[in-house]
Amino acid sequence: MRLREEEGDWKGGFLFVGNQLALDLLNTRPVIEGEPTELLSDLDAVVAWFQAAGLVGTAQGVALRRDWKHMPNAGHAVSLIHEFRETLRREVLAWEGGGTIRRSTIEEVNTLLAAHPKLIRLRSHSSGEKNDLRTESWYEIQKPSDLLGPLAHAAAELFTQIDRTRVRKCEHTKCVLHFLDTSKNGTRRWCSMKMCGNRLKVAAYAARQRD
């Protein structure tokens, strides 16, 4: 797949076809032009992905890049995110097929949840003459490793709140993207019609013509 061809499936340079944050994390290492491609190549890219995912605002992203630019452990945090993503990928592949989540992964997620709790705060929401208060979730992000908090919560929500029969890997053999099927009839087969669905349909049509 070429980025310029698939702009509708990309946001801020990242794929968001998973319909669930943990699955979108898995999709940050897609196969592009036949090669696995690391989209979270450094801390700047990681912060950009968090911004594209709506977890970090624009001003906050600028401040994080500035504050973390010369932080010695910044690269280690990126490695931790890569490791967590690949652990999650192995679990999701097994889980989709009816397997259970390994105890070691449960413990890892629990450790991250304890270290990076989800917080709640009140927000004022004005609508016309009304001024309503609402609650919103947020994460305290002060150091690069704090970025693991939202990822751990997304993994916990995936394994406890999502119907596993609706979580799938794209049926295209060369595609590694995962998605949560939110369609009414639950028959989605591809990461997106643009990237893989049309290609498989064209291939199937060509095969029928040859037959």
Report the pLDDT value the prediction gives residue 161, as an integer from 0 to 100.
97
Q: What is the total count of domains within the chain?
A: 1
When mean pLDDT is compared across 131-140, 145-154, 202-211, the lowest value belongs to: 202-211
Residue 191 lies in a domain: yes
Residue 97 lies in a domain: yes
| Per-residue DSSP letter, 4 | G
Report the pLDDT value the prediction gives residue 211, as an integer from 0 to 100.
46
In the chain, what percentage of residues exceed pLDDT 70? 88
Residue 24 lies in a domain: yes
Report the pLDDT value the prediction gives residue 91, as an integer from 0 to 100.
98
pLDDT at 209 > cutoff 70? no
**pLDDT class of 210 with cuts at 50, 70, 90:** very low
Residue 15 lies in a domain: yes
Query: In residues, how long is the chain?
Result: 211
Residue 199 lies in a domain: yes
Tell me the average pLDDT across 30-55. Answer: 94
pLDDT at 127 > cutoff 90? no
pLDDT at 70 > cutoff 60? yes
Report the pLDDT value the prediction gives residue 98, as an integer from 0 to 100.
93
Residues 6+ apart with CB under 8 A from 120: 135, 136, 137, 138
Structural domain containing residue 81: 6-114+146-210
pLDDT at 133 > cutoff 70? yes
Nearest by Cα to 16 from 3, 27, 5, 6: 27
pLDDT at 150 > cutoff 60? yes
Helix axis angle for 74-96 and 148-161, nearest 10°, is: 10
97/197: higher pLDDT: 97
Residue 137 lies in a domain: no
In the chain, what percentage of residues exceed pLDDT 90? 71
131/190: higher pLDDT: 190
pLDDT at 204 > cutoff 50? no
C-alpha to C-alpha distances, 150 to 42, 155, 165, nearest whole angstrom: 18, 9, 24
Tell me the average pLDDT across 188-206. Answer: 64
C-alpha to C-alpha distances, 26 to 15, 58, 88, 126, 196, nearest whole angstrom: 10, 23, 8, 36, 17
Residue 136 lies in a domain: no
Report the pLDDT value the prediction gives residue 84, as an integer from 0 to 100.
98
- Please count the CA atoms within 13 angstroms of the CA of 187 that sit on its side-chain side: 1
Specify the CATH number for the domain of residue 74. 1.10.3300.10
Report the pLDDT value the prediction gives residue 173, as an integer from 0 to 100.
85
SS (H, E, C) 146-168: HHHHHHHHHHHHHHHHCCHHHEE
For the chain, the C-alpha Rg in angstroms (whole number) is 19
Residue 120 lies in a domain: no
Q: What is the mean pLDDT of the chain?
A: 88
Report the pLDDT value the prediction gives residue 2, as an integer from 0 to 100.
32
